Structure 1
């Protein structure tokens, strides 16, 4: 599913990722680990096609990460979530439903399961951090992608929402989807990953 060869990503004079290699087979669930500042989030952004590498080669399902064919396959749960602050939570959900030709009612049901049922009429910019995380997670995964990238998906979530996310990950893993996640919490990912990718500034 994901092939990375000799990946180099620089941030100014700093080399965030250096000669990084990885292969993530389809249907595998992997956790990306490494010290703070080692390039974990950057690696996810490269796989998602949002950050261009300075050198090396990255393919997802045989295509460059930014290829439109890949965009339809993947969902990226980002930290912080990219949302439209001037929309209400319900308008944000309806926008996503329209993009993926989904029923807004189904997204509302999932949002209610995450604890957002009473926040539909609130502007995104007025939601709490945890509520924004829930909404961002739902928007990124609404289309049930075959590849799910998750950057600290449990940060800021209450117990109900964390369990709902864990249930989703377990279901997707059982369904043979590919999961790549960054999480500082060992307990949150227990039983959800098959392998580990370690990144480091000197890797």
Structure 2
């Protein structure tokens, strides 16, 4: 049975370098699916395929019953990549206002998340003045605003302090109750319970 996130016999590579060979993977509500494996095993590639930023060489990648590259999936899916698309000269507030307008959400939707992460005290600071951890908090909030059915996150705990990592772990557990959650992370806090680990193979070289 297909999952909300569904990879069926997926082959993918870069040029003549194969990365994924016949991957089968499903993610549904009930657990955080935590991808593990050595560097080069394809963990981030799985998330790029899920997000529709890359196309499989063969096989099928489906999200919420749609091809992952179908524009209809955009409203149902969230993706938080490891590289942050933030503007150094803009404030935290300006970033969150842009994100809420783009999603058709009220300001409170972002403000409540900022408070939960302890970012509310920095809303008038520019991104260039933020610590690494605060910038990561902002990026996570922007990428995961609103209602969605599936979410994929690549190294979201990177740079977070223990308190913020705990908040994110709580959110992941909350989301996983009724949404599909796909996670790539080398460092997972102990408070992230109920996860299902999926080990990808060794790097091909």
Give TM-score scaled by structure 2 length. Answer: 0.88
Residues 121/44 of structure 1: CA separation in 2 closer, same or farther (3 Å cut): same
Contact 1:10 1:54 (8 Å CA) reproduced: yes
Contact 2:82 2:154 (8 Å CA) reproduced: yes
| CA deviation profile, 1:23-59 (whole Å, cap 9, x unmatched) | 2234442111111121101101101111122222111
Residues 115/41 of structure 1: CA separation in 2 closer, same or farther (3 Å cut): same
For the aligned residues, what is the CA RMSD? 1.9
Match of 2:179 in 1: 177
Q: Matched residues in 2 for 1:112 and 1:25: separation?
A: 29
Residue 163 of structure 1 aligns to a residue whose secondary structure is helix
Matched, 1:8 2:8: no
Gaps of 5+ in 1: none
Contact 2:172 2:192 (8 Å CA) reproduced: no
Gaps of 5+ in 2: none
Residues 179/93 of structure 1: CA separation in 2 closer, same or farther (3 Å cut): same
Report how many aligned residue pairs link the two structures: 200
Match of 1:122 in 2: 125
Deviates more, 1:100-109 or 1:54-63: 100-109
Deviates more, 1:103-112 or 1:36-45: 103-112
Match of 1:39 in 2: 42
Contact 1:183 1:189 (8 Å CA) reproduced: no
Residues 188/50 of structure 1: CA separation in 2 closer, same or farther (3 Å cut): farther
Match of 2:61 in 1: 58
Q: Matched residues in 1 for 2:191 and 2:150: separation?
A: 17
Deviation at 1:90, TM superposition (A): 0.8
Residues 192/133 of structure 1: CA separation in 2 closer, same or farther (3 Å cut): farther
